[in-house]
Amino acid sequence: MSVTRSPGGLTALPLDEDRLDLTAPFLWKQALCLSMQNPPGRAPGQGRHSRSAAVALLLLAGAALGAQTAPTWEELEARQAQITSIDISIGDVFDPSLPHENHWLGRAANLLHIQTREQVVRREIPFHQGDVVNARLIHETERNLRTFRFLKDAWIEPWVDEAGGVHAVVRTRDAWTLKASAGFSQVGGQRNFGFSLHEANVLGFGKDLDLSHEKTPERSTDTLLYQDRQLLGTQWTLATRYQALSDGKTRFFELARPYRRLETPWSLTLSASASDAIESVYNLERTAYTFSSRRESIFLEGSWAVAVTGGKAIRLGGGLDLKRSTFGSIQTLEAGGLPVPQLRDRRLQGAHVSWSLFEDRFRAFQDLAGMTHPEDYNLGWEAQVSVGSYLKSLGSHVASPFFRASASKGWAPGSSSLLLFQALSSARRESDGWQDASLNTSFTAYHQGFPYQTQAAYVQVDAVHRPDPENHLYLGGMDGMRGYGNHLLLGDRRWMASLEERIITPTNWLGILQLGFVVYADAGAIRRADTGRWSRTYVDVGGGLRLGNLKSSIGRVFLMTIAFPLTREAGTDRYQFVVGNIVKF
């Protein structure tokens, strides 16, 4: 028999078993001999071909010796089976075994591409040779590997040898990570131009480096970004960003040890940021006010897992919140009836404690928000609550209690349906009442009733109360109303809803682009800041191309659509082109 991987798992295909049974011991011995040609002490990169050949022979031997259906990790865990070995197979960007990818362009790309180094993948594997099989941990490892931008896919297959030993074969497929591009996107009638040089897997070590220039209607921006999810080969992560703006600059730094696994005992995060820029307040797609701002912040938080049981973790923590904001004078342009922003210099410095819940109930889906790539969604609860106070003793200009809370949950009513819920809320209490209070909730639904089709629905409800200038609420193109310009209306209450019909065709260009189509409708309204009353309900419809980028880790869906507003104000454009990597749900 032979074994092939399908979206639902492994499918066994019967072949000439007598012939395979005769050759299986030979294949197994050859695989073990080849695997010894690259012992742990050998330098990285040496013996790669022998290692790959060993893995290939292990797969053939496993196929020869297996039953009609390969055992699942859950079945092996029930047997208390032990892991005999861990083998890693890293596939190139293009798979030459697939006819539509075996072409000169694919072979050239594989030749130019620097393959991910084995130690990068091995560092993410928490189980070891001799461990008893833990199915949940293995599936968690698959998900963690798929979060790396330089990997298009990752999965772990069990192979059982003739002696009953379980061999974990970790298989990954590299994505094309070098992106040199020049282009534009258009949403809400505003065009963004730019070019970039982005490598998401520097020299195969998994480091992310980005150099880019972008010009928008608001400003031009030059960016230098570096991210490292395995700092010095450890579980620590580093993220840095420097941006030179035409009206200022921004700096960001974060050093963290995150929760990579359910059983990770503790985490620590230190981040700092600073920005100088000219900010604007908009209404009716025009700039109403502008002002200069300077913001600085430092955030420190540590937390510990106090209870981990039954696929659930409860964590407690605490930390420091240090923020400072200063503003320049306001310049009035086209305010109309819009109230003047209340700008107050702020120095908020305090401490907080936190509680969080995490349930590991993930399921993998395909062709929901993206195309052809596995998409992992959690059907369990994820929740976090932080409460604290800004204190004058720590340098705050005011004593002010505050809170932040978030929650998310997923449901799968059937094998072809998914529901997602998310909520975020935060506020602080000052002497004159609640300040910068916000509540954001959303529901997303997917249904795949027919092959190559996905129906998607999205509902979002938001509210703010006395928001800080950077947290204003708008209704417009960038917010999800694709038939309208950006910053159509400013307000403090908002609802939006969208429906989409997505079709993925079998048309595939050289294994690089997948052709798809989409039709959609959006609706929404906002309680206007200039009148204090709810706006009309705005509705738009649209459709066009939905292209899947199958090889790049950067931007997996690209839209080229046109949207028509059905509810129009005086001066509203008759249509809007929506172009770019803009996928909200």
CB contact at 8 A, 170 and 144: no
- Do 338 and 283 meet the contact criterion of CB atoms below 8 Å apart? yes
- 106 lies in a domain? yes
| Token representation of residue 278 | 């000219």
CA distances from 256 to 228, 354, 355 (A): 11, 17, 18
Q: What is the pLDDT of residue 307?
A: 96
Report how far residue 484's alpha carbon sits from residue 565's, in angstroms, rounded to the nearest whole number: 7
* Residue 185 falls inside a structural domain: no
Residue 342 placed within a domain? no
Q: How far apart are CA 543 and CA 55, in angstroms?
A: 46
> CA-based Rg of the chain, rounded to a whole angstrom?
27
Decide: 557 and 367 in contact? Cβ < 8 Å.
no
d(CA 295, CA 39): 52
At residue 188, the pLDDT reads 53
pTM equals: 0.83
Take residue 215 and report the two structure tokens written for it: 């010009």
Note the pLDDT of residue 503. Answer: 95
Residue 269 belongs to some domain of the structure: no
SS3 call for 30: helix
The answer to whether position 210 is within a domain reads: no
The answer to whether residue 107 sits within a structural domain is: yes
> How far apart (Å, rounded) are the C-alpha atoms in residues 126 and 375?
22
* Residue 128 burial by Cβ neighbours in a 10 Å radius (0-12, 13-18, 19+): exposed
Residue 253's Cβ-count burial label (10 Å; 0-12, 13-18, 19+) is middle
287 is a domain residue: no
- Domain extent at residue 115: 2-174
Split the chain (585 residues) into runs of 10 and give each run's mean pLDDT. Answer: 33 32 41 42 41 50 51 93 94 90 91 93 94 95 93 93 90 89 57 78 94 82 95 96 91 96 96 94 89 96 96 97 94 85 92 97 92 91 98 93 98 94 97 94 95 95 93 92 92 97 92 94 96 95 93 79 90 86 81
**CA–CA separation, 483 vs 531, rounded Å?**
23
**What is the domain count for the chain?**
1
Between the CA atoms of 392, 395, 397 and 399, what dihedral angle is there, to the nearest 10 degrees?
-30
In a domain, 420, yes or no: no
Q: Burial of 560 by CB count in 10 Å (0-12 exposed, 13-18 middle, 19+ buried)? A: middle
Q: List beta partners, residue 346.
A: 325
Q: What is the pLDDT of residue 69?
A: 65
Q: What is the CATH number of the domain that holds 12?
A: 3.10.20.310
Work out the widest C-alpha separation in the chain, in whole angstroms. Answer: 86
- Given the DSSP bridges, would you call strands 83-91 and 166-174 parallel, antiparallel or unpaired? parallel
CA 52 to chain centre: 30
